[in-house]
Amino acid sequence: MSENDEPQTNEALEGLRKKIDAVDRQLVELINQRAQYVVEVGDLKRGTGVPIYAPHREAAVLKKIQSFNEGPIHDRTLEAVYRELMSGSFALEQPLRIGYLGPVGTFSHLAATKQFGSSVAFEDLRQIEGVFEEVTRGHVDYGLVPIENSTGGGINETLDAFLTYHDQLNIYGEVQLAIHFSLLSNGRPDNIKRIYSKAEAFAQCRNWLNTQYPQAQRIPAESTAAAVKQAKEEFDADPESGAAAIGSSLAGEVYGLHSLFEAIEDRQRNITRFLILSKSETEISGNDKTSVMFTTDHRPGSLADVLGVFKRNSINLTHIEKRPSREVNWDYTFFVDIEGHRKDQRVAEIIGEARAHCKNFQVLGSFPACRSIF
C-alpha cells in the first residue's frame, strides 16, 4: 500500500464504521421494541397459569429465525443471540430460577447457562435428587439434570430419582452439551504432581493422562468444580505443590485457574444429555420425544411384548435404560424414549396399548427433541 492509498483506506474504514454504528442504533431500537411486546405478553400470561418458558415456542422461534437467515452470519451465532434475547425476555416477564447439579462451574452449570442465558437466576442444588425436590416444591421454576453421557452411559442417580418423583413433575426439554475437559493449574506444566477430579473425568481422560502425566497422583473429588476449587486452594497455599485439576473451562474462570491443556478427553465426540424438569407440560412442537418408564410382569416375552407395540407401529426408540425397581428383588423398571408427543392421538393410542402389557407404566413427559449441541 502506497502513502497515497492510506488516506483513502482510512476514509473507507470510517465510512463503514459509521454504517455499522447506524445499524447498531437500529438494532437497539428494535430489540427494545421487541422487549416491549414481551412485557405485554407477560401481562397477558400473568395470572393465567401459562408458563413463562415454553420449549415448543422456543423451538418454533429458533427455527423461524434460522429460516430468515440468508448469511453470511452462521445459524449458530443467531441462535446464541436469540437465546440471550429470550433470557432477557424471561427477566422482563417474570424472573426465573433454574436449579442445577452444583457446585458452580460444573458441566451442569455450563449446560444451564447455555440453555437459559445469563439473565435468569441459577441455584446450585448440589445433588441430583435435590433438583427434583426443589422443582416439585416450586422453589425453582425449572431444573436441569444429566441423564446420559455418550461415553459413560446412563446417570443412575437421575433414573432413580424418577422412581420417587415421576408423578410430581414432567420432563420439559432436553439439552446436549459437548464435554471438553481441560487440565487447569496456575503452576508449570512440567511441575504437575497432583491432579484432582471426579472419577468419571479421570476415566474419560485416561489415555491422555497415562501419556502426559503417568506419575501424577490422581485424587478423587465429588465434582469437577470441587476439584478445581481444591487445586486452587492448594496452589495458593504452596505454589510449588504441583496441584492441578481436570474440569471445565468455566470452572477455571470461576475459581481462577489457567488452562494448561484443553480438550484432553480421549473421545472428542463426548456428549452429555441433560433433561429440563418442570411441573408444567409442553405442547406439540412437531419434532418431539416422549419418555416413559414401566415395569413388566415376570413371564417369558413380557418385555418383548411391550417393545413389540412400538415396533408394529413404526415408533422409533431413541433411548433405553433399566434400574432395579426397589420393590421386588430382580424386578426392573425400564426407561424408554420414543419419537412423538403424548398429546398426538396416534402416539397416545400406542402408549395405551403398551400400558396394557405392564404392571406399572408412567409417562414422564413429552418435549421438543434437541436441535443442536452446545
- The pLDDT > 70 percentage for the chain reads 98
Looking at residues 19-25, what average pLDDT do you find? 89
Domain ranges of the chain: 30-93, 182-269, 281-374
Helix (H) or strand (E) holding 322: strand 317-324
| pLDDT tens-place string over residues 277-332 | 999 999 999 899 999 999 987 788 888 999 999 999 999 999 999 998 777 777 88
Phi, psi of 239 (to 5 degrees): -60, -15
Q: Which residues pair with 99 in a beta bridge?
A: 123, 143
Helix (H) or strand (E) holding 87: helix 75-93
- Identify whether the C-beta of residue 276 lies closer than 8 Å to the C-beta of residue 172: yes
- In whole angstroms, give the CA distance from residue 158 to residue 103: 17
pLDDT at position 65 is 84
If you classify domain 182-269 with CATH, what class do you get?
alpha beta
> What distance separates the 2 farthest-apart alpha carbons in the chain?
90
Record the pTM.
Answer: 0.84
Q: Alpha carbon 316 to chain centroid distance?
A: 23
Phi, psi of 333 (to 5 degrees): -100, 130
CATH H-level superfamily of 30-93? Chorismate mutase (1.20.59.10)
Please give the single-letter amino acid code of residue 263. Answer: A
3-state helix, strand, coil in the chain (%, to 5): 45, 25, 30
Residue linked to cell 459437548: 178
**Range of 71-75, 133-137, 152-156 with top mean pLDDT:** 133-137
- Identify whether the C-beta of residue 154 lies closer than 8 Å to the C-beta of residue 148: yes
| pLDDT tens-place string over residues 193-233 | 999 999 989 999 999 999 999 999 999 998 899 999 999 99
List the one residue out of 348, 374, 373 whose CA is nearest residue 363.
348
Average pLDDT, the chain: 89
| pLDDT tens-place string over residues 33-43 | 888 887 887 77
pLDDT at position 253 is 92
The DSSP annotation for 109-164 comes to: HHHHHHHH-SSSEEEE-SSHHHHHHHHHHTSSSEEEEEEEETTTEE-HHHHHHHHH
Q: Higher model confidence: residue 59 or residue 275? A: 275
Sheet with 182-184: strands ordered across: 217-220, 194-197, 243-247, 182-184, 259-261
pLDDT at position 180 is 93
pLDDT at position 276 is 96
DSSP state of 373: B
pLDDT at position 3 is 58
If you classify domain 281-374 with CATH, what class do you get?
alpha beta
- Identify whether the C-beta of residue 40 lies closer than 8 Å to the C-beta of residue 34: no
Q: Alpha carbon 367 to chain centroid distance?
A: 14
For the record, the C-alpha cell of 85 comes out as: 434475547
For the record, the C-alpha cell of 257 comes out as: 485457574
Q: Is the pLDDT of residue 133 over 70?
A: yes
- In whole angstroms, give the CA distance from residue 217 to residue 204: 16
For the record, the C-alpha cell of 267 comes out as: 473421545
| pLDDT tens-place string over residues 236-277 | 999 999 999 999 988 999 999 999 999 999 988 889 999 999
Q: Is the pLDDT of residue 90 over 80?
A: no
List the one residue out of 143, 136, 62 whose CA is nearest residue 99.
143
Q: Higher model confidence: residue 298 or residue 366? A: 366
| Count of C-beta atoms within a 10 Å radius of residue 157 | 14
Q: Which residues pair with 217 in a beta bridge?
A: 194
Looking at residues 343-359, what average pLDDT do you find? 92
- Identify whether the C-beta of residue 110 lies closer than 8 Å to the C-beta of residue 250: yes
- In whole angstroms, give the CA distance from residue 374 to residue 370: 10
- Identify whether the C-beta of residue 296 lies closer than 8 Å to the C-beta of residue 306: yes
- The pLDDT > 90 percentage for the chain reads 59
